[in-house]
């Protein structure tokens, strides 16, 4: 299995070689470029440094600390969860905690906090957890199996997950739902 952190480190080192600039210099330039949105910054990086979209995207995430590795390096897991479940979304954190308690019993996996959710992966991502709105939590599942359950909504091709399960409180989590997550966990391994 390729280590995602090592692959990202190699890509960032290659970006330094391509541009002739350090990551600190590139990050400072990005912060000073006057762009705010990720897509605008990525386009600016492509135009300014001649990088491809993939490299520009990775560099933009790095500079904005919006990728899981960069975010995790600067804060504890609890701090990152506090950010995700801040304010009006705080009441959804027990849903996250109950799901994680069950998933941790499956075996080893990596957790990658993102800006508004947490990605769970083995060789590949198997689930995404996080608040979708102030009132609704969303569990994303990467699973090729056909699930026939009215709570589990199929997602059109091209999405980050094959299924979404909307939840509003921890009481909606049952053995059947945990079983679907276990299927996705096993398939990702």
* Beta-bridge partner residues of 110: 121
Residue 88 — very low, low, confident or very high, per pLDDT cuts 50/70/90? very high
Residue partners of 140: CB distance under 8 A and separation at least 6: 117, 127, 128, 129, 155, 160, 161, 163, 164, 165
The DSSP 8-state label assigned to residue 85 in this structure reads: T
Q: What are 161's two structure tokens?
A: 């997950």
Ramachandran class of 50: left when φ > 0, alpha when ψ lies in -120 to 50, beta otherwise: left
Residue ranges of the domains in the chain? Answer: 4-64, 77-187
| pTM for the structure as a whole | 0.62
Q: In DSSP terms, which residues pair with 174 in a beta bridge? A: none
- Alpha helices for 20-128 (secondary structure H): 23-32, 38-49, 53-64, 68-74, 77-84, 93-103
Q: What is the pLDDT of residue 77?
A: 64
Report the percent of the chain where pLDDT is more than 90: 47
Mean pLDDT across the chain: 86
Split at pLDDT 50, 70, 90, the class of 58 is: confident
pLDDT in tens, 106-145: 999 888 888 788 989 898 899 999 999 999 999 999 988 8
Tell me the average pLDDT across 83-112.
92
How many Cβ atoms are within 10 Å of 29's Cβ, its own excluded?
16
**pLDDT at residue 110, rounded to an integer:** 87
């Amino acid at each position: 299995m390729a280590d995602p952190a090592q692959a990202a480190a190699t890509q960032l080192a290659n970006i330094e070689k391509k541009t002739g600039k350090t990551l600190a210099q590139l990050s400072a330039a990005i912060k000073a470029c006057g762009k705010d949105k990720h897509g605008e910054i990525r386009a600016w990086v492509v135009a300014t440094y001649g990088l491809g979209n993939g490299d520009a995207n990775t560099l933009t995430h790095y500079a904005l600390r919006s990728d899981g590795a960069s975010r995790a390096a600067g804060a504890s897991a609890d701090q990152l969860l506090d950010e995700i479940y801040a304010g009006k979304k705080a009441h959804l954190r027990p849903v996250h905690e109950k799901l994680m308690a069950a998933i941790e019993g499956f075996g080893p996996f990596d957790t990658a906090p993102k800006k508004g959710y947490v990605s769970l992966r083995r060789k590949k991502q198997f689930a995404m957890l996080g608040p979708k709105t102030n009132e609704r939590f969303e569990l994303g599942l990467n699973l090729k199996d056909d699930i026939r359950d009215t709570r589990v909504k199929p997602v059109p091709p091209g999405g980050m997950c094959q299924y979404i399960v909307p939840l509003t409180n921890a009481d909606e989590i049952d053995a059947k739902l945990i079983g679907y997550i276990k299927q996705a966990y096993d398939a990702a391994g």
